[in-house]
Each structure stands twice: as C-alpha cells, then as structure tokens.
Structure 1
C-alpha cells in the first residue's frame, strides 16, 4: 500500500490530505483536517482607563471590543491594528483637541452646578408639600410665589432646602396639574373601584368664554362617605342632553369605573339634566334600571 501526502497552503489554512492507494487501484480519501490560523485582533484593555490623561473622555465600546468610544468627540474609532497607539494617534488629531476644549468647560459647569441627589429630592418634596398646602387652603399661585420669596429670605442662612426652593406661578401650576392632580385622581378612582357603587355629579361652569363640566364622584369609603371628588374636567360648549351623556360615558370608560356600579346621578334640576323626556337622566336610565335621580340645590 502506497501513501501519498498532499499539502496545500492558501494563506489562511493548512490542509493535509492522506490518500491510500490499494492494489485494486481504489482510492480511499480520508476527511481532511483544517487548522485555521486566525489573526489576533487588537481589543480593548481596561488598564488603559487607569491613565489619568485619557480616562476622562475614553469609554469602553461594548458592542465591539475592537473599537473604543471617545465621549469628547462623540464617536468611536478602531483599535484593531494599533491598540494603544491608535489612542495616541486619536488624541493628537486637531478635531479631538478642539472638542476637548469645550468638553472640559462643560464638565466644569456640570460638576459645579449639580447638587447631590438627596438635596434635590428633599427640595422637590418640600416644593410638592408647599403647593399641596396652598391648594388645600385655596391659596393662589401668586400668593404662593410671594410666600416662597419670604421663606427664602428668612431661612436662606439656616436652611439649604429653603434656599433652593423655587415656586413661582408657573412652577406651582405645573406641580399641581402634572404631579398632584394625577396622583390624587388615581387614588380616588382606586377607592371607587374597591367600593364598586358610586354616584356621579356634574354641572356647567363658565370661566371667561370657556364652558367647563366638572365631573365629581360620591362613594362609600373606609372612613365614610366621600363626596365632591373631581375625577375629570370637560371643556365643551355643547349643553345638549345627548352631548353631556356621551361626555359622561367617556369619562366613566376612561376612568375604568364599573358602569353597572353607577347608582345615581346628580345635577341641576333643569329639563336638559332631569327632564322626563330626552334628558341626561332618561338616557342613563335607559341603560341602567332603577337609577336614582339626585338634585343639586
């Protein structure tokens, strides 16, 4: 039996093939074994970030270990071939030098103006309590702004929180509308769902040339009957019975209240609201049997 070895070299792999030649001139080829010789890539080394000259603007690029992120230039560059030399080459670029000038200034501004998280949270909590107190006692946003200025003047030397408080008219309105109102509305709706049975009250109210329909709920809670809790404010000039009914149905569905838990409705004793023919009450009564008719005095 003769043995013939064929060696092929295609720059990337080394393949050896053994052919066995028998007396019957039959060739039996053995499956070739391939050993690919891969090039070692330059990858990120965490030790580079210990260098104080580069650790302020260089970051690891986790999506590709052969690249590194420069936050000053807001770009990634390859370290595949040069490794640390690629970093040194990037630092000497004119574009990077110009970006570092503004980057250092921004870092100084951010560091000097940022407050500890605890102080920010305490100030925000104080402002929220202050606006809640003013809303509960019917204080206007203008009066709250004046009180804030007085508090900052009196307690600026003894209280960092008082010194940091800023409750102008716009901010008070934003806290009340975007923070406090959604929280307490959701809290009321949760209690109504737990109580299941409730009544709805509504009435038209004019503010300037705008007509509003505040929608209130009354229900039994763990501490007794709660009434007059506003869950929505509808802006609509159409005072027809059909339109009011559709708006109230929209509020009930949007709030997630059980429709069959509605026991009564309360409104002014007008034909549109409480009349016997095509009123808001009759439209609800067609959907819910034994609905009580409440009247607002």
Structure 2
C-alpha cells in the first residue's frame, strides 16, 4: 500500500502502517519538501486578470511611481529595486506584490504613447512650433529628449511637451539634425517648425563663425530655410562675460608692487 506525502513523495505503508508515515515525516527530504511547498507561490499569483479592479489599482500605482521618480529627478536605475523593496515592506498588499515597474517600464510610462497622441491632437489646431534637444549622459549612454514648444490658449498659454526620447551613438551635428528631422516628419509637424533652441555649443550653432556643419545649419536645409535659432540666455551672458574679461587691460601699479 502506498500513500502520497504532502510534498508529493510516495511512501510505502505496507510493512508498519502509520509508523512508516511517522518515520517519513522526520526525514530531511520530507522537511525540505514541505519548506519548498510553503515558500512556493501559485503561478496564477504572478498574473493579473485583464479588466479587473486589481489591474486598475496596479496600473495606477505604477504610473504614480513613475511620476514620483521623474518629479524628484531620480535615476531610472533606482526603479530596478524600488518595486522589489515595496514588495518586502508592504508584503500584505496585493497591489504591491503585483507591481513591476523597473526602469524599462518606467521609461515607457513617462513617454507614454497616449500622452504623445494627446500632444499631437492638440497640434492639429496649432500652426507653428519650436523644437529643442540636448544631450544628457547616463553612464555611457547619451540620451536625447526631444521637446516642442507652442502657444495654445485653450490649455492656458505656452506649452512645452516631450514627444520623444532616444539614445544616439554620438553627438555629431548631422546625427542630431537627422534625429530631429525624422521625429518631426513622423509626427507630421515638420512644416510647422519655425525655431530651433539649444545651448550655445559649437555642435548646435557653430560658434562665432557659425559655418554650415552645425545642427542649426543642417535643420535650415532640411526643415525650414527661415528657421530661427534661439540660444540659451544664460550661456550667452556667460560667454559675454568670459570674452569681455579676456579683453580687459589690467593696469599694474609699480609702486604698489615694490611695496609688496
């Protein structure tokens, strides 16, 4: 006669009956099996039923976490451990146990397709906009957020919206200009772009001599020959002070030098 233990093991009780079961319960194999069963969760516990109330709560929680990370300028890398930490701290919460909001998902939530669609819908009634981008280094990855700025009186005035975020291999003017042009074409607002804004580095505007190898010159050829270039006021002021200070003549009082 055979009996199945709680850990799925077959135990023979043909010789000593209940004593066989008692002996099996004391074995290391049985005790390890029981601990394994207790620590293992059901596979269904890892999935959320579509359209259920818990799905709505989990989605809202993940969106809130993503918003919190961006609002306080947290690194996306921190989101790899935050949901796991919440599972430990709030172990009795079904919402916390089912939240999976690491950096990849956080990025997708921040630049959500629905949000971009809303901006593009608003742009249907807007005739002009400006575009800007700048490199942000995250370790060895160069991230280029692409922003557009436009005036929408229905939404309260001047609007600044992120419409794309990509990593580029380098910061060459041709690659940045191609990236901007491609996104504007994809969003069907290329003809509405009348201005380009960026910091005053040589890659964007070409320095004092301008030239035709910078981002601004490339965009004038591919987007709009009458494109307006808008530099950073803080950088302009800094450059003015720097170059002005370099050209100041500094007088030396020889009598004062001798006293020293």
Q: Which residue of 1 aligns with 2:53?
A: 119
Q: Does 1:270 align with 2:201?
A: yes
Measured in 1, the distance between the counterparts of 2:229 and 2:59 equals 43
Q: Does 1:234 align with 2:169?
A: no
Q: Which residue of 2 aligns with 1:283?
A: 218
What are the residue-to-residue correspondences of 1:210-249 with 2, within 5 Å?
210-221=141-152, 222-227=155-160, 229-249=161-181
Give the counterpart of 1:294 among 230, 237, 243.
230
Greater CA radius of gyration, 1 or 2? 1
Q: Which residue of 2 aligns with 1:134?
A: 68
3-state SS of 2:101 partner: helix
Measured in 2, the distance between the counterparts of 1:239 and 1:280 equals 10
What are the residue-to-residue correspondences of 1:146-295 with 2, within 5 Å?
146-147=85-86, 149-150=88-89, 152=90, 156=92, 162-166=93-97, 171-182=101-112, 183-221=114-152, 222-227=155-160, 229-257=161-189, 259-275=190-206, 276-278=210-212, 279-286=214-221, 287-295=223-231
Deviation of 1:129 (Å): 4.1
Measured in 2, the distance between the counterparts of 1:121 and 1:165 equals 12
3-state SS of 1:277 partner: coil
Deviation of 1:147 (Å): 4.7
Measured in 1, the distance between the counterparts of 2:192 and 2:157 equals 18
Q: Which residue of 1 aligns with 2:38?
A: none
Measured in 2, the distance between the counterparts of 1:143 and 1:266 equals 35
TM-score when scaled to structure 2? 0.56
Give CA-to-partner distance per residue, 1:238-270, whole Å, 9 cap, x none.
Answer: 32222221111111112232x221111011212
TM-score when scaled to structure 1? 0.50
Change (3 A) 1:260 1:193: same
Q: In angstroms, what is the RMSD of aligned CA positions?
A: 3.2
Contact 1:127 1:167 in 2 (8 A): no
Measured in 2, the distance between the counterparts of 1:290 and 1:189 equals 23
**Structure 2 unaligned blocks of 5 or more:** 1-41, 235-260
Count the aligned residue pairs: 178
Contact 1:201 1:266 in 2 (8 A): yes
Contact 1:212 1:233 in 2 (8 A): yes
Contact 1:144 1:167 in 2 (8 A): no
Give CA-to-partner distance per residue, 1:95-114, whole Å, 9 cap, x none.
Answer: xxxxxxxxxxxxx987xx98
**Structure 1 unaligned blocks of 5 or more:** 1-107, 157-161
Change (3 A) 1:264 1:175: same
Q: Which has the higher contact order (CA 8 A, sep 6+)?
A: 2
